[in-house]
Structure 1
Amino acid sequence: MASLPNLHCASAGKLVRTARPFAPARPAARTAAVACKTSASPTAAEAGRRQALQLATAAAAAVLFPGSAHAAKVNKEYTPVKDAQDGYSFVYLFGWQEVAVKGQDVVYKDVIEPLESVSVSITKTDKENVSEFGPAPEVAYTLADRVLTPPSQEVKVLEVKETVRDGRDYIEFEFAAKAGNYIRHALAVVTVGNGNFYTLVTGANERRWDKIRPRLEEIAKSFTVVDRFAAT
């Protein structure tokens, strides 16, 4: 099994970002630009790489989505979703339609702009916390590069951060994937709970990113995973 690519993190607290995720003049290269807040020792990093690869294998049939105690503005722009059986909730944009996608627990998308969508996937895991899969930047890159996009697409991870919502740890990241004739810009949120690894992904065509980004951020922030059964 191939090892994870080396990730060079920016200085603490600084975001690695360009005006556009892919500059036309630059040669296509499968690289990641990642902002991180902490650095691991060589031993911890190596263990993290192994854990992240396990994550990629476990999630190979999956894709997508986040968790959050943030209450998105549930108004005429958003429709709430609550799955009590699987223990998660989020909101999606009003007017998006539910579609069936193999390997996904649920998917909603715009019928006119098909790249504008949100999806949630659930994969069984024996881990109890998302941090057990390794350093957040490596987990994000593994998912973006090997799980959430086809192998033929060039991927760049633009931002990675770790958050805590209602006592649960989440990894949130932003990435872009370049296909032959379009770029999809996306936000993803992952967490662990109820014996599952949850992934939420929401995104859009790069040409509409600046316009729709605030709405997609609300979707990502709204994602929340809760314990399905209270302790007895």
Structure 2
Amino acid sequence: MAIICQASSGQGRRQALEAAAVVAIGSLLPRAAAAKGYVPAKDQQDGYSFIYPFGWQEVSVTGQDVVYKDIIEPLESASVAVAATDKATVEDYGALGEVAKTFSEGVLTPKGQPVKVLGVNRRAGENGRIYFEFEFASKAPNYIRHALSTVTVANGKLYTLTTGANEKRWDKVKTDLSAIIKSFNVDDVVRT
């Protein structure tokens, strides 16, 4: 497939590249996601996939399986952590509210930062796997980070995807961040 993309006088190079990327990945994503400018991320070894906004770049962060960030707004990011577990399902960690509180206060934010859980949701994935989703805000010394997270268990591992932004930009990016969370899927990995 050849993609021809020209920037008109009112369109910048970035918009032209975004349009080309949307066309190129359109066959990999549902039409709604591709139309909005998302890029698929898939880790076949660990069995997870999700989408993130076009323009974000992958960065290396110790302790995370993968991290994508907006290069202009670095608090806007999505990260996946994968850890071994002896639990069979995410529900084995406790009730949804308890898990949201434990993860947001003790795992996903630095010690000493005040955290408030703003909402919780239980979702069944395409294969029936249960995902706990929650929204929270954590107060750092000079900003508030508004975040969304989803956790699930599969393949003897605990999977955590977290995305967020500065509270000041939340209203502008919450749709994109919600799309990231809703797109997170973990498949059973067959080891040979």
Deviation at 1:147, TM superposition (A): 0.6
Contact 1:153 1:178 in 2 (8 A): yes
From 121, 130, 133, the counterpart of 2:81:
121
Deviation at 1:152, TM superposition (A): 1.9
Is 1:175 the equivalent of 2:136? yes
1:31-180 equivalences in 2 (<5 Å): 73-75=33-35, 77-166=37-126, 167-180=128-141
From 151, 162, 170, the counterpart of 1:209:
170
Give the AA of the match of 1:160: V
Contact 1:120 1:200 in 2 (8 A): yes
Give the AA of the match of 2:175: P
From 134, 140, 157, the counterpart of 1:196:
157
Number of paired residues? 162
Higher strand share: 2
Residue of structure 1 in register with 2:23 after alignment: none
Give the AA of the match of 1:99: V
Contact 1:96 1:110 in 2 (8 A): yes
Deviation at 1:75, TM superposition (A): 3.4
From 184, 205, 211, the counterpart of 2:145:
184
For 1:95 and 1:135, locate their aligned partners in 2 and report how far apart those are by CA, in whole Å: 36
For 1:159 and 1:204, locate their aligned partners in 2 and report how far apart those are by CA, in whole Å: 16
3-state SS in 2 of match to 1:73: helix
Give the AA of the match of 2:100: A
Residue of structure 1 in register with 2:10 after alignment: none
For 1:76 and 1:157, locate their aligned partners in 2 and report how far apart those are by CA, in whole Å: 28
For 2:142 and 2:43, locate their aligned partners in 1 and report how far apart those are by CA, in whole Å: 36
What are the Cα deviations for residues 60-85 of structure 1, in whole angstroms up to 9, with x where unaligned?
xxxxxxxxxx9661335111011111
The runs of 5 or more residues in structure 1 that have no matched partner are: 1-69
Aligned alpha-carbon RMSD (Å):
1.7
Give the AA of the match of 1:80: P
What are the Cα deviations for residues 122-167 of structure 1, in whole angstroms up to 9, with x where unaligned?
0101111100111110111000001100112110000011111121
For 1:185 and 1:77, locate their aligned partners in 2 and report how far apart those are by CA, in whole Å: 22
- TM-score between the two structures when normalised by the length of structure 1: 0.67
From 173, 187, 190, the counterpart of 1:226:
187
Point out the structure with max Rg over C-alpha. Answer: 2
Give the AA of the match of 2:75: L
Higher helix share: 2
Deviation at 1:195, TM superposition (A): 0.5
The runs of 5 or more residues in structure 2 that have no matched partner are: 1-28
3-state SS in 2 of match to 1:74: helix
